[in-house]
């Protein structure tokens, strides 16, 4: 391949910024300077689709109304464990207004026993498991008719509590080895469905960063201090405001699927595979979606059900879940019972980390505590055993930084405790054990903005209401998805379009694409039309792993560059010069050596021989290679977050007053959107730390707070003051050198809050959410 040498900015501005030279393909654009010198990239450009959202014009899947559309509803199990002996749908089928009924014979999601089950119907393994679906004229009729379906259950024993489920005598969720199709959202979680005993499966002992290191026994022997505890985190659900669902219109010439998704191509592929259709016959559209947070990477059971009903009736079918169904069946973050033992020397250097975790993802696999213990800090001796425990509850799903939020809760509290044991400031300890340069800068800048020096010894605040300050860090890999393609079109009338199947889940992907294309073409972002979220366009990355920006923006820039060069070919011909001597600036094409040779962009396009220029580009290899060839880039999206809390020691109530979050995402493309993402991750972290949890009744196997009334989320008065610090971190790895922020924003918050609570009251809380009972218990007030 022909390459050219380019000098890229390298490092952190106002800290260690320098240059690095890379060999890059000749067909890719030249290196961008730092953001200061760019026109649109790195600026808080207004969100592309904000106007549609603020006027109520944005159409979400739930809003779709197609001619002839029917409404569908599931019938779900009201018991946690049963064999179905018979299902009688006759009353439902003949109910006025009902057009089709379908009984599920194969579940599309969750773990599945490898041996064939003899029973005709899937065995019920959790309350809320779908049994059948029907389509009717209205949702009311569908609900009424669903109640008329008669199911004969043969009840089976069940287990809800994780620790009960771990016992050898516990009722088994699966009596055979299981397999689970990997959910595209899962990253680094336990999937060892074959191994284990009873409901316990695993352990998983390695990640893509490798397996155990060194010798634990030797490491602990060398330690001067040891911190050893078990940390517990809760199961919580995603609660996207728009629930899961689809509108499917299956006509003879193809299937059209509107869906609220983070992954248009996975939905397309799943639906095509399920029904044995060529992928070209399935079109998936997601222009707006109301939140996913990891749970929406699949067509689930609702996609196939709606399609089957659409085929049976010949009409479009709307199937959106209600809030209760959303809570009990569409995913959750598994809990963790997380044993951690960390050894260190008096000077702070870590000598050994031992980790063992159990967690339940209900009837699925995917509980784990991530890679924080493995890679956040330097430590020669390390081992982890991460186990899944099946219980009769709704399947887990990837939840913003799966596993790593749970893991950070343990690790960052242990490190905080360690610092105190060796009489070292927690930030100073990290300076010793953390090799990340960007986190060092984040610590410095964050500490200053936050006023870390205000911190007093733990529990020293007088009076019943005590203030506390805490800090925690996170690490997150830079994932790249190669199947990320963008097509840029420059039309004769001057219109510029970018197209990709990638979806915007509220993160601002549309804006970022407009900015990148505008920067490359020398026009304004408002002049770019962004068409995404449709699988007729080239495949885009899925919105998971925080990899969209890093995967699609280089492709977008490269496609724009290609289109531009084609345009230059045309203009250069006219000026009898070389395309390499042309540049774009403020909507003009200018000759680099003769500034008087100018042509407006629009004029240049009018002279085109073809109606439009089309260029597409896929995500190419990182300059200088990858950390791992499947798409693990060098670098880290780590963060440092500081929390200020108030703890009322008489009532046990904790309030988060302020968070300072220092983050890096390589080259930030839209600083407003980055701050929005940080705010989102932080607020979810506060919710996880203090308020929300799934309440399962152990006697009956039901989720008792499957609504928004008793499922506690923060509202306006719980929102802390949040200050975000964006640290630019250049590495010259791609044509945009830009990365994501979604998951990093969510990892450190809860444990920063926990560390702050410790600083306030002088007693550590090893279990979240930190509800009043836990604080009062810790203070021996109950």
Partner 1 sequence: MKEKKQSEKLTVLPEESKSGKKGLSRRGFLKGAGVTTAGTVMLQTGLLGHARADVKEDTLLGPDAILVKLKVNGRSRTVQVEPRATLAQVLRDHLELTGTKIVCDRGSCSACTVWLDGKPVNSCMTLAMDVGDRDITTIEGISNQEGLHPVQQAFIDHDATQCGYCTPGMIMTSVHLLNENKNPTLEDVKVALRGNLCRCGTQPHIFKAVLDASKKM
Partner 2 sequence: MNKFSWYEAKSVEDALGKVNATVSDILAKNGYKSSSVFKAGGVDLLDLMKEGLVNPGTIIDIRNIPGLNKIDSDNKSGLRIGANVTLAEMESNITIKNHYIALHQAVALAGTPQIRNSATLGGNLAQRTRCWYFRSIDHQCYRKGSGTCFAQEGENEFHAIIHNQPCASVHSSSVATALMAFDAQVEIISSEGKKRTLSMEDFFVHPSKDSRTENVLNANEMITAVILPAVNEQIRSYYIKQGARESHDWAMADVAVVMELSGNRCKKAAIVLGAAAPVPIKARDAANSLIGKELNESIAASAGETAMKDATPLAKNGYKVPVFKAIIKRAILKTV
Interacting residues with partner 1 (CB under 8 A): 44, 46-47, 49-60, 62-63, 65, 67-70, 96-97, 137-138, 140-141, 239-242, 288-291, 293, 315, 322-323, 505-508, 672-673, 675-677, 679-684, 707-709, 713, 715-717, 719, 721-722
Q: Could you tell me the two tokens for 129?
A: 């498991």
Q: Which CB atom, from 549 or from 759, has the smaller least distance to partner 1?
A: 549
# residues near partner 2 by CB under 8 A:
35
Other CB atoms within a 10 A radius of the CB of residue 620 amount to 18
Residue in 702, 731, 743, 750 binding partner 2, rule: CB under 8 A? 702
- Number of alpha carbons in the 13 Å side-chain half-sphere of residue 742: 24
**767 near partner 2 (CB under 8 A):** no
Residue in 88, 179, 378, 697 binding partner 2, rule: CB under 8 A? 697
With CB under 5 to 8 Å by kind, the binding choice for 240 among partner 1, partner 2, none is partner 1
Within positions 638 to 667, which residues make up the interface with partner 2, using CB under 8 A? 648, 650-653, 655
Cis ω for the linkage preceding 128 (within 30 of 0): no
Q: Please state, in angstroms and rounded to a whole number, the distance separating the CA atoms of residues 100 and 136.
A: 7
The window from 89-97, 178-186, 436-444, 770-778 that contacts partner 2 (CB under 8 A) reads 770-778
**708 near partner 2 (CB under 8 A):** no
Give Cα 199 distance to the centre of its chain.
Answer: 27
- Helix (H) or strand (E) segment spanning residue 742: none
Kindly state the smallest distance separating residue 639's Cβ from partner 1, in Å: 15
Q: Which CB atom, from 46 or from 606, has the smaller least distance to partner 1?
A: 46
Cis ω for the linkage preceding 148 (within 30 of 0): no
Q: Please state, in angstroms and rounded to a whole number, the distance separating the CA atoms of residues 221 and 216.
A: 8
- Pairing state between β 70-76 and 317-320: parallel
Kindly state the smallest distance separating residue 313's Cβ from partner 2, in Å: 24
Which of the 8 DSSP states describes residue 314?
T
Alpha-carbon distance values, 125 to 179, 195, 224 (Å): 15, 20, 48
Helix (H/G/I), strand (E/B), else coil: 242: coil
Burial tier of 471 (Cβ tally within 10 Å: 0-12, 13-18, 19+): buried
Q: Could you tell me the two tokens for 607?
A: 């002279």
With CB under 5 to 8 Å by kind, the binding choice for 699 among partner 1, partner 2, none is partner 2
Q: Which CB atom, from 423 or from 710, has the smaller least distance to partner 2?
A: 710
**140 near partner 2 (CB under 8 A):** yes
**704 near partner 2 (CB under 8 A):** yes
Residue in 718, 723, 764, 767 binding partner 2, rule: CB under 8 A? 718
Spell out the residues 6+ positions from residue 551 whose beta carbon is closer than 8 angstroms to its own: 479, 480, 481, 482, 484, 540, 541, 619
Q: Please state, in angstroms and rounded to a whole number, the distance separating the CA atoms of residues 532 and 585.
A: 26
**777 near partner 2 (CB under 8 A):** yes
Within positions 75 to 104, which residues make up the interface with partner 2, using CB under 8 A? 78
Alpha-carbon distance values, 210 to 203, 370, 384, 505 (Å): 15, 12, 11, 32
What are the residue ranges of helices labelled H in 58-171? Answer: 90-93, 139-146, 162-166
Kindly state the smallest distance separating residue 781's Cβ from partner 2, in Å: 5
**698 near partner 2 (CB under 8 A):** yes
Q: Which CB atom, from 144 or from 437, has the smaller least distance to partner 2?
A: 144
Q: What is the CA radius of gyration of the chain?
A: 27
Residue in 716, 723, 744, 755 binding partner 2, rule: CB under 8 A? 716
| One-character DSSP codes across 600-622 | EHHHHHHT-SSSEEEEEEE--PP
With CB under 5 to 8 Å by kind, the binding choice for 662 among partner 2, partner 1, none is none
With CB under 5 to 8 Å by kind, the binding choice for 552 among partner 2, partner 1, none is none
Q: Which CB atom, from 96 or from 457, has the smaller least distance to partner 1?
A: 96
Interface with partner 2 (CB under 8 A): 78, 127, 140, 144, 648, 650-653, 655, 691, 695-700, 702, 704-705, 709-710, 712, 714-718, 771-773, 776-777, 781-782
């Amino acid at each position: 391949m022909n390459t050219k040498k380019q000098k890229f900015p390298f490092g952190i501005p106002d800290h260690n910024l320098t240059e690095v030279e890379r060999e890059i393909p000749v067909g890719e654009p030249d290196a961008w300077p730092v953001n200061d010198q760019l026109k649109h990239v790195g600026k808080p450009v207004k969100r592309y689709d904000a106007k549609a959202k603020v006027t109520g014009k944005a159409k979400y899947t739930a809003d779709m109304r197609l001619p002839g559309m029917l409404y569908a509803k599931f019938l779900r199990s009201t018991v946690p464990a049963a064999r179905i002996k018979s299902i009688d749908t006759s009353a439902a089928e003949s109910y006025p207004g009902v057009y089709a009924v379908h009984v599920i014979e194969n579940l599309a999601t969750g773990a599945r026993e490898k041996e064939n089950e003899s029973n005709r119907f899937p065995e019920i393994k959790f309350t809320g498991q779908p049994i059948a679906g029907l389509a009717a004229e209205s949702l009311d009729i569908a609900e009424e008719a669903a109640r008329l379906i008669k199911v004969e259950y043969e009840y089976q024993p069940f287990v809800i509590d994780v620790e009960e489920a771990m016992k050898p005598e516990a009722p088994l969720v699966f009596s055979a080895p299981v397999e689970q199709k990997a959910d595209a959202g899962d990253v680094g979680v336990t999937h060892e469905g074959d191994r284990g005993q009873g409901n316990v499966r695993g352990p998983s002992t390695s990640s893509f960063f490798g397996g155990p290191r060194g010798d634990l026994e030797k490491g602990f022997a060398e330690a001067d201090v040891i911190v050893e505890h078990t940390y517990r985190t809760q199961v919580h659900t995603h609660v996207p405001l728009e629930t899961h669902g689809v509108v499917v219109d299956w006509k003879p010439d193809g299937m059209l699927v509107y869906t609220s998704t983070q992954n248009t191509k996975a939905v397309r592929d799943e639906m095509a595979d399920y029904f044995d259709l060529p992928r070209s016959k399935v079109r998936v559209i997601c222009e707006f979606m109301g939140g996913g947070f990891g749970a929406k990477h699949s067509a689930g059971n609702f996609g196939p059900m709606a399609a089957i009903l659409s085929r049976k009736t010949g009409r479009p079918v709307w199937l959106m879940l209600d809030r209760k169904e959303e809570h009990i069946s569409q995913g959750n973050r598994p809990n963790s019972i997380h044993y951690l033992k960390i050894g260190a020397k008096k000077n702070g250097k870590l000598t050994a980390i031992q980790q063992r975790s159990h967690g339940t993802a209900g009837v699925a696999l995917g509980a784990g505590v991530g890679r924080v213990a493995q890679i956040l800090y330097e430590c020669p001796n390390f081992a982890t055993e991460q186990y899944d425990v099946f219980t009769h509850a709704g399947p887990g799903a990837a939840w913003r930084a799966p596993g790593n939020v749970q893991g950070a809760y343990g690790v960052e509290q242990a490190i905080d405790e360690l610092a105190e044991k060796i009489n070292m400031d927690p930030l100073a300890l990290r300076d010793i054990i953390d090799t990340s340069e960007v986190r060092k800068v984040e610590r410095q800048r964050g500490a200053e903005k936050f006023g870390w020096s205000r911190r007093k010894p733990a529990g020293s605040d007088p009076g019943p209401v005590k203030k506390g300050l805490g800090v925690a860090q996170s690490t997150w890999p830079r994932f790249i998805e190669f199947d990320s393609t963008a097509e840029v079109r420059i039309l004769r009338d001057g219109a510029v379009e970018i197209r990709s199947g990638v979806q915007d889940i509220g993160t601002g992907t549309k804006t970022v694409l407009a900015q990148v294309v505008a920067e490359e073409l020398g026009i304004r972002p408002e002049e770019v039309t962004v068409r995404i979220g449709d699988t007729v366009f080239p495949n885009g990355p899925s919105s998971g792993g925080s990899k969209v920006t890093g995967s699609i923006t280089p492709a977008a820039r490269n496609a724009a560059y290609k289109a531009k060069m084609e345009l230059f070919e045309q203009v250069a011909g006219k000026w009898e010069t070389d395309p390499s001597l042309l540049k774009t600036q403020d909507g003009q094409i200018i000759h680099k050596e003769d500034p008087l040779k100018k042509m407006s962009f629009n004029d240049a396009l009018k002279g085109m021989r073809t109606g439009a220029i089309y260029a597409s580009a896929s995500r190419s290899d990182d300059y200088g290679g990858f950390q791992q060839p499947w798409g693990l880039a060098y670098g880290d999206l780590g963060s440092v977050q500081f929390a200020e809390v108030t703890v009322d020691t008489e009532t046990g109530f904790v309030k988060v007053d302020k968070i300072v979050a220092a983050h890096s995402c390589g080259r930030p493309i839209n600083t407003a959107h980055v701050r929005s993402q940080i705010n989102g991750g932080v607020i979810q972290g506060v919710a996880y730390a203090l308020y929300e949890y799934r309440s399962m009744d152990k006697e009956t196997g039901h989720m008792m707070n499957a609504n928004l009334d008793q499922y506690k989320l923060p509202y306006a008065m719980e929102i802390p003051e949040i200050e975000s610090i964006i640290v630019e971190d250049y590495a010259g790895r791609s044509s945009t050198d830009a990365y994501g922020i979604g998951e990093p924003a969510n990892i450190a918050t809860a444990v920063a809050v926990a560390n702050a609570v410790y600083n306030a009251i002088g007693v550590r809380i090893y279990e979240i959410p930190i509800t009043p009972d836990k604080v009062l218990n810790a203070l021996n007030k109950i």
